[in-house]
Structure 1
Amino acid sequence: MFVSRPIITRLMQQTVRRYHQGEFKPPSMDELPVPSGSWQARYDANQRRYNATLLFGVAFAASTIVVAKASGLIFLNYSPPKSLD
């Protein structure tokens, strides 16, 4: 059991030291992507998608509440009960 301990610690030291393989070159501005196309067209397309997602979420939540209320699963407590029983 004690024989394997130096081997494991030696392997762990070597794996930690191999963080960078070869020579490390820091990133530069030349490696950044170059913008292409109209930002306004992309913005408008994203906004249409986000608004559609928002409308779907609101419609789904409203329909879920309506179905739960109609089936009697929930009571929204918007008025006092008709009787105290």
Structure 2
Amino acid sequence: MFVSRPIVSRLFQQTARRYHGESHFKPPSMDELPVPAGSWQAQYDANQRRYNAALLFGLAFTAGTLVVAKASGLVYLNYSPPKSLD
């Protein structure tokens, strides 16, 4: 029984590594990378405008949500201690 354990484990080790077929994988090279085109500054400025617009929209949406929630009485923001304990 103990003699068959190394043989079986050895078979499993070898078959676990043979499940891939032959691969004709060619490693990528620097020639396959895209070539930059256009001005990086123009692209950077366009990205910053888009990111700043998303930031401002998020801040405005958060502020609007807080104002509506406070005005409707759904939340108490604990600015000061309550007037009474009841």
TM-score normalised by the chain length of structure 2: 0.75
RMSD: 2.1
Q: Secondary structure in 1 aligned to 2:81?
A: coil
Give the equivalent residue in structure 2 for 1:6: none
Query: Quick one: percent identity of the two aligned structures?
Result: 76
Q: Distance in 1 between matches of 2:77 and 2:29?
A: 59
Residue deviations 1:3-59 (CA, integer Å, cap 9, x gap): xxxxxxxxxx7x9313x64x2211110000000000000000000000000000000
Q: Distance in 2 between matches of 1:35 and 1:82?
A: 64
Unpaired runs of at least 5, structure 1: 1-12
Q: Distance in 2 between matches of 1:32 and 1:44?
A: 24
Residue 23 of structure 2 corresponds to residue 17 of structure 1? no
1:5-84 mapped onto 2 (5 Å cutoff): 16-18=19-21, 21=23, 23-84=24-85
Unpaired runs of at least 5, structure 2: 1-15
Stretches of 4+ aligned residues off by more than 4 angstroms: none
Q: Distance in 2 between matches of 1:84 and 1:35?
A: 66
